[in-house]
Structures are given as C-alpha cells and as structure tokens.
Amino acid sequence: MLQRRRVLTWLAWAAWSLAVPAPANAADADAPALLLAQVYRPGMALHGYWVSEKYDGVRGYWDGQRLRTRGGEVVNAPAWFTANWPAQPLDGELWAGRGQFAQAQSTTARQTPDDAAWRQLRFMVFDLPAHGGSFDERLGALQTLVASLQQPWVQAVPQQRVATDAALQALLARTVRGGGEGLMLHRGASHYRAGRSDDLLKVKTHDDTEARVVGHIPGQGKHAGRLGALLVEMPSGQRFKLGTGLTDAERESPPPLGSWVTYRFRGQHASGLPRFASFVRVRHDRP
C-alpha cells in the first residue's frame, strides 16, 4: 500500500511538473555579454590561433566591481580574493584543479564563503573584454596586468601555437591523459564580441553541451516511483528525454525545473537532436 501511494504521489507530481513552464531567473537580465565557443571541426585552418587548456571550472566574470557567474549571479568570494583587482573587466575560470569541478562549483555557490575552500581555487584569466584590441594585443596586456597584481591565485592562462591538426590532436591526447578536459582555440586577430563564433573554439574528445530542465518523466520497472528521465530543452527550443547517466540519488532527487544540465552526445540526427545523449551533471553557474 505504501509503495502504491508513493508511486501515485510521484505520478501526480511528475504530471504537474510537465505542465508548469520552467521558472525564469532574475539573473538572466544581468548576465554578462560573454564570448562563447563553437566546436572545433577537424580540417579547420589553425594559422593565427592560440591554444590553451580548457579548464573545467566555473566561468567567472569580474565586471570591475563584482565577481559574477556566466548567468549574472554574484559570486560571494572572500574580500581578500578580489582585493586590488582592476576596474576593468576580467574573463576567466574559477578552477580548483583537474578533475575538481564539483569542488569549484560547491565553493563558488556558497552564500557565505568558506575561506579554506577558496584558498584551493585559482582565477585563470583568459581575456580582457573591455580592451579594444585584437586577442594578440589583449594577450600581452592581460599578462602584464595579472603579473602586476602579484596574487598567486590569479593566473594568466598559458597560450601556445600549433601548426597542424595532428599536432593539435597530440596535445589534446596529452592533456586528457593528464586529467585535463580539453583545449581552447582563440583567434589572434579577433576582437572580443559576445556570442558564439569561430573566434573561440573548444576541442574535446567528446561532444557536450547544455540544456534546461523543463519536466520530470516518471520511471517504470526498476525506476518506478522515481525519476525515469529528464525532459530537457535545447537553446534551439527542441526538447528530448535525457535518462541515461543519472545516478540513483539523482533519480530520487532530480535536478529542479529551470536548472541547466550538461550532457554528452555522439553526433546529431538530421533533426538536430543529439544522438546517444547521456547526463553528466547540473550546472549551478547557469541562470
């Protein structure tokens, strides 16, 4: 009887969740206009691009007064962490080290900063959004500015050149073997502009992207009485079920409506929907 009541309660709640639109977030309107990456396509000309490691952390945007996430929410860092930072914006990644995304996310999400946890973070700066020059010019200015701060937790992201796709893939393999997530390519002649373009490219061993949770689909069989799959919506407006990759704990307490999740996939169908999509994690730094 108890199990039956639990299943009926779940079904009623799941039906309600599918009928209610995902909540809007007040941070949306205040989200910084960030440069976003496209996916590298083998065969693209690499001349003119700088290459760096792709740090698996929380995107951090210093607007000259406050540290904010990609979604515009204020990051409550300790006062010492941002002391003497410049009035000009800095774009970077709040990073706890390779394989430590969860640590970076939990540290930056706290309303009351944990001083000891913040001492494990670094702000890896990769751009100066308000600088009017090309990335080639911004890179020199960035390195000079970061060096002047003399704060070991603030670092300029190391950049290098590669000439061929073979060299790029070899560097990618070494980075991944060492626990890194992937690589980034930044066009040296480009100016900072918001949105996605080939000025910034991500290079990884697998495809991944993000979608917003818009519904909870009840499970069947061994998952009866708990989550079977998430109904997620891509930025294009297309929706699909995402059930693979969820843990038992995530099925018992699903990501809330309106939250953003990262998923991996292998190519796309002709419709544009992902093939073999698999849940990775919730992104708390998205609006």
Structure tokens at 93: 């990644």
Residue of 50 and 3 predicted with greater confidence: 50
Which pLDDT value is given to residue 9?
44
Which pLDDT tens digit goes with each residue over 4-50? Answer: 545 444 554 455 455 445 444 444 557 899 999 999 988 899 999 99
Which pLDDT value is given to residue 253?
93
CA distance 270 to 273: 7
CB of 30 closer than 8 Å to CB of 246: no
Closest listed residue to residue 55, CA positions, set 128, 161, 142, 155: 155
Closest listed residue to residue 164, CA positions, set 37, 42, 52, 53: 42
Phi/psi-derived region of residue 225, left when phi > 0, alpha when psi is between -120 and 50, beta in every other case: left
Q: Is the pTM of this model over 0.85?
A: no
Q: Which residues are catalytic?
A: 54
- Contacts of residue 133, Cβ cutoff 8 Å, sequence gap at least 6: 141, 191
CA distance 186 to 173: 19
Distances (CA, A) of 276 to 202, 227, 243: 20, 19, 10
Distances (CA, A) of 219 to 6, 41, 225, 254: 12, 37, 6, 12
Eight-class DSSP state of 160? B
- Phi and psi torsions of 66, nearest 5°: -130, 150
Which pLDDT tens digit goes with each residue over 199-253? Answer: 999 998 887 889 999 999 999 999 999 999 999 999 999 999 999 999 999 999 9
Eight-class DSSP state of 271? T
Distances (CA, A) of 50 to 140, 145, 213: 13, 19, 35
